[in-house]
Amino acid sequence: MLLAWRLLPDTERVRDVRFDIWGSLTLGLGALMMLTGVNQGPKWGWASSAVVLLLVGSVGVLILFVRIERRVSDPLMPLRWMRTRNFVVPVASQAFANFAYMGGLLLSPLVMSEILGYDSGRISLVIIARPLTFALLAPLASLATIRVGERLAAMFGWSCILASMLAFMLVDESSGVMLMVAALALSGAGFGIAGPALTSLVANSVDERDLGVAGAMQQLVNQMGSVFGSVVMTTIQVATLGAGLETSYHVTFAVAAAVAGVAVMLAAFVRPTPRTA
């Protein structure tokens, strides 16, 4: 807090702007209902009345949110963003990548424990590869993005996550530790490379006064991708256990690889920020 007070510049207050109360309530309620339904689906049953009601109801509430945003003078989320390629595509691409990234984050310790037989201490050491590569590469990748552009950076980063999911598919009881380290490191590197590039695209696609809302919207969709990935991948792994433990993980990571592939394809459609020589 002290650093923020010292380093962050103050901004001018915008006069004659009304807070979009109903937009905030409907967006929050719709997201809450959807995430609760997805999160509780494996426990309550996907066909249970509560889960169906939550998921269907969330769609209805989000449709109401859009209708509200069309009518209010100062919308929480200007709907013109939905027609802005460098807002919609980066947000969607990052959500798909988060599906694979967070699903892999949740399942990788289970792979090491159940297939490779690692204890908790060894798992903790191996899994450091993911945050370590993220922390090391993110600052360097930001500099590289200035040279190659956001599109190539995002496509390369998400391709690393795709390669990570494919590496997880190769893990069996005879696999060495380096395969796990490589799979984890690829995930961390991928997000460290692509994440900053797409975040900058989103920031550059909106007015300066809307940066806070745009960033919050991006994080909301990203978190929804994370929840979907964690729940869906866990559900697939449990549902395919009958084919064998290793096979269940291989099938799950194959699905994650396909979703990461969608993220790569979406990243190909962003427009790099023009730069002067």
CATH superfamily of 83-277: MFS general substrate transporter like domains (1.20.1250.20)
- Tell me the pLDDT tens digit for each residue of 62-74: 999 999 988 888 8
d(CA 18, CA 16): 7
- Tell me the pLDDT tens digit for each residue of 186-238: 999 999 999 889 988 998 888 887 788 888 889 989 989 999 999 999 999 99
Quick one: pLDDT at residue 33? 94
Q: Where are the domains of the chain?
A: 20-76, 83-277
d(CA 263, CA 157): 10
Q: Is 149 left (phi over 0), alpha (psi -120 to 50) or beta?
A: left
Position 3 pLDDT exceeds 90: no
Q: Averaged over 108-130, what is the pLDDT?
A: 93
Position 277 pLDDT exceeds 60: no
